[in-house]
Chain A
Amino acid sequence: MIMEKELFTKVQQTLAGALGVDESEITPEASLKRDLGAESIDFIDIVFRLEKTFNLKIPAGDLFPSHLLNDERFVKEGMVTAEGLAELRGKLPYLELEEFTKDPQITKLADCFTVKMLLRYLSDRLGKSSCSDQCCS
């Protein structure tokens, strides 16, 4: 079982390699897009690198909620509906949606893709029950 510190270090190294940023900039709260400057090709790079680093396959719907956002019940006129938010919380528990719910424009959802989200997801996939505060602080 991978230790939390080790997990964070590996994620830091992976993101630093993909995004060309200093490891010190990669904090748990950092948003991949807003803070670390990730663009679309970087998201794909990150997914592939994480798969290699942790020897797992990350299905598209696991980290990025494409299957939910195609559903008209969940997105109306560019905004995620209350039903959509509930679905996101249920299906993607690693996402932190507190800020997003105040102005749930679909185009702003990418801001919720944080380093912490990746840590929680990986922690879950690698067999730990949760990512503790020590890891994400």
Chain B
Amino acid sequence: MLRGVGVDLVSRNRVKQFLSRHRGYVRERFLNFSERRSLKRLSLQEFAELFTAKEAFFKACGEAWMGLEGFQGMRMKRCGGDHFEMEWRTGRTKKLYRGEGHFFRSGDLVGAQAMIWR
């Protein structure tokens, strides 16, 4: 049974602007340990996809915005092509969400849609 759906969309231009100001902060406060290791260069595309995937997944979970702490707790796994899987163990209560999603692109926009199954 489908438990939740989430979609997120971000402009590549906005991401470029954001990364040009905050690349160091992003590495330190947005990425988790394994992302810091695997995304050494952190390209605009990599960050845009990671961000939209996490944001879409978070919307599918129906949780309140958890700031940077929440984003760091999410783990995304690329599954080939535009498909990804996601897992999120939230804060202190350790509620566990698992789901999957896909990326899509149109012009300047990068997006992700995520689904959580009960």
Residues of A within 8 A of B (CB): 39-41, 43-45, 47-49, 51, 60-61, 63-67, 69-72, 75, 78, 106-107, 109-110
Contacts and interface: CB of A to CB of B under 8 A. Distances in A.
B55 A60 contact: no
B14 interface: yes
Interface of B: 8, 10, 14-15, 18, 21-22, 25, 29-30, 51, 55, 62-70, 90-93, 95
B18 A45 contact: yes
Contact of A43 (B22, B63, B67, B90): B67
A60 B67 contact: yes
A104 B83 CA distance: 35
Nearest to B95: A70
Contacts of B90: 70
Please give me the 4 A-B residue pairs with the lowest Cβ-Cβ distance, nearest first: A66-B66, A70-B91, A60-B67, A60-B69
Q: What secondary structure prevails in chain A residues at the interface with B?
A: helix
5 contacts: A41-B14, A47-B67, A47-B68, A69-B66, A107-B64
Contacts of B92: 67, 70-71
Contact of B22 (A48, A67, A110): A48
Contacts of B95: 70
Given A66-B69, A70-B92, A109-B65, 8 more contacts: A44-B22, A45-B21, A60-B67, A64-B67, A67-B91, A70-B90, A72-B93, A107-B64
A78 B68 contact: no
Most buried by B among A39, A49, A66, A72: A66
Given A70-B91, A70-B93, A44 B68 contact: yes
